[in-house]
């Protein structure tokens, strides 16, 4: 089964933030036109298995967090080369 990619669901726009292993871009949902922030983590830049575990822990925290002062998790996509976390903008 083919993996769904974030690019299949969202139109990727400009970069709004960058870090060592990731960037955050503005995205627009193709159907609803809702603006979102998408954190794209480049797994090819990660050479330590513990770092990948930390990424998955961050993902679980985002999924569980529900607070007005914390950016809300919407969904995520993962391929062999990246993890994309879709959040409210």
Parent domain of 22: 6-88
Q: Is the residue at 52 inside a domain?
A: yes
The pair of three-digit structure tokens given for residue 86, joined into one six-digit string: 């879709």
Q: Is the residue at 33 inside a domain?
A: yes
Torsion sign over Cα 27, 32, 34, 36 = negative
Number of structural domains found in the chain: 1
Query: How much is the pLDDT for 73?
Result: 93
Tell me the pLDDT tens digit for each residue of 25-70. 999 999 999 999 999 999 888 888 888 898 889 889 888 888 888 8
What long-range pairs does 51-57 form, CB within 8 A, spacing at least 24? 51/21, 55/83
Q: Is the residue at 1 inside a domain?
A: no
Give the domain CATH number at 16.
Answer: 3.30.200.20
């Amino acid at each position: 089964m083919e993996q769904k990619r974030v690019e299949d669901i969202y139109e990727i726009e400009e970069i709004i933030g960058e870090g060592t292993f990731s960037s955050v871009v503005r995205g627009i949902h193709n159907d609803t036109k809702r603006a979102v922030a998408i954190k794209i983590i480049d797994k090819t830049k990660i050479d330590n298995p513990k770092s990948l575990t930390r990424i998955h822990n961050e993902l679980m925290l985002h999924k569980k967090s529900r607070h007005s002062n914390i950016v809300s998790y919407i969904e995520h996509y993962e391929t062999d080369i990246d993890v994309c976390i879709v959040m409210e903008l």
